[in-house]
Amino acid sequence: MYKSIMSLHNRIAVLRAERKLSRATLALSVGVNPQTIGFLERGDYTPSLELAFKIAEHFGLPVEAVFSPRPFRTLSEQVYELHKRET
């Protein structure tokens, strides 16, 4: 009923898994409740700009590498394209 008009896609789950980071640790670092990280990962909540920047800063990445208005391409697609470009 109250879904945001524009849903924001994110890579938080992938980045967390990559860095073996728990929901609670990330939440503690960016100053939200752990359940908020879960809602973000599931796409049930669109973060404020402030929170988006905090999360990107935590991972040491530009904000557009963590959040995007369009769905992220899968890693296999990107690797395949890179491979194609190289050959």
Partner 1 sequence: MVANEKRSWFWKKIGFWFVPARSEKLGPEEWAKIRKASRTSKNRRTRRLFALLWVPGLAFEIAVNLRVVRLDPWAGLMSAAMLTMLMGLAVRALRIGFAQVSLEDRATMEHGEEFDALKEKQRGEIFQRAVRDGLFGRVKVDEREAEQRLRAQGAAYRLLGPALVVFVAGYWGMCLFGPFEATRSALAVTAVVVTWLAALVLAAPTMIRMWTQPDEPEETAAIAE
Smallest distance, partner 1 to C-beta of residue 70, A: 23
Q: How many CB atoms lie within 10 A of CB 52?
A: 19
Smallest distance, partner 1 to C-beta of residue 55, A: 12
Amino acid identity, position 27? A
Smallest distance, partner 1 to C-beta of residue 2, A: 5
Q: Among residues 24 and 75, whose Cβ is nearest to partner 1?
A: 24
Q: Among residues 11 and 23, whose Cβ is nearest to partner 1?
A: 23
d(CA 87, CA 83): 6
Which residue, 50, 52, 68, 66, is CA-closest to 11?
A: 66
Which residues of the chain form contacts with partner 1 (CB under 8 A)? 1-2, 22-25, 27-28, 31-36, 39, 45, 47-48, 50-51
Who's near 20: CB < 8 A, 6+ residues apart? none
